[in-house]
Amino acid sequence: MHENAVFRDLVSILGEAHVARNVPMKAYTSIRTGGPARFFAEPDTIEKVLELLQYLRDKSITHYIMGNGTNLLFPDSGYDGVVIRIGNKISRITLEGNQITAQAGASLAAVSARAMEASLEGLEFASGIPGTIGGAVTMNAGAYGGEMSQVVKETLCVDEQGKLLRLKDQEHGFGYRKSRIQTDALVVLETTMVLRPGEQMEIRNRMADFNSRRREKQPLNLPSAGSVFKRPEGFYAGQLIQECGLKGHTIGGAQVSDKHCGFIVNLGNATSQDVLDLIKLVRKTVYEKTGVLLEPEVRIIGGDL
């Protein structure tokens, strides 16, 4: 199908203000690398997400759905398809008793802050995680002993055929940094979480403590994609990497952080290939020296290790 025709169709579905061409993904990923997406779409309602996905399926057009881009690595050559960003345009948060429902594009920071304001506890761990609810539920994000599986009750998703599903409780299939949403290629539209009544000041203090610890230990002053590797059973990825002598190791503009070895940071001019080469080097070195094969937590788009 001709590129101009696709663009016209996308504009007719979403409106001219919500579609662009040749958008550099480095502007939309936290590690600040990645070439241009052929088309970049930001729907502003769930209904438009569904209509857009139906169109892309009907036309067999390659697409990728992202949130805040906090754990994504797009190739330097770009993405030859449609990148759909579900972000702050689809981010409504509603409260009902001790339940909070958030659309997929709502930030974890905003949702946890809303919970705190309502004196509801259980989401403090999420206040400093720089992602969206959709991404967090998909990968069962967690920190400081908490994770999404502890609070998520029900999630509205759409499958690859366009069918709407409501996953409840165990139907989410949560595991460590994974869920049925991930394995079945579902797309989160909104999720409902059940929290507990608590003391607002205690909740606020826990959030402040977690965020202080995060600032102290993580390289938040430089672009990164968060924790590069999942925690291997019985070990800590950052500790293994440090023990293998890779702290501060650099390839091009990418560096194993000298503040926390579980992070790869962009020193200013890194390419995605620099980051990918460094990931490969770290995995190879750690495996050769310890026998532990690190599994990436970062999503590598259009490629693999």
By annotation, the residues acting in catalysis are 177, 227, 297
Tell me the sheet residues that pair with 300: 73
Choose among 153, 187, 159: nearest CA to 172: 153
- For residue 79 the two structure tokens come to 């993405």
221 phi/psi in degrees, rounded to 5: -85, -10
CA distance 145 to 131: 18
Any idea which residue has 């759909």 for tokens? Answer: 84
Are 141 and 148 spatial neighbours (Cβ–Cβ below 8 Å)?
A: yes
In residues, how long is the chain? 305
Task: Calculate helix-pair angle for 108-117, 200-217, nearest 10 degrees.
Answer: 150
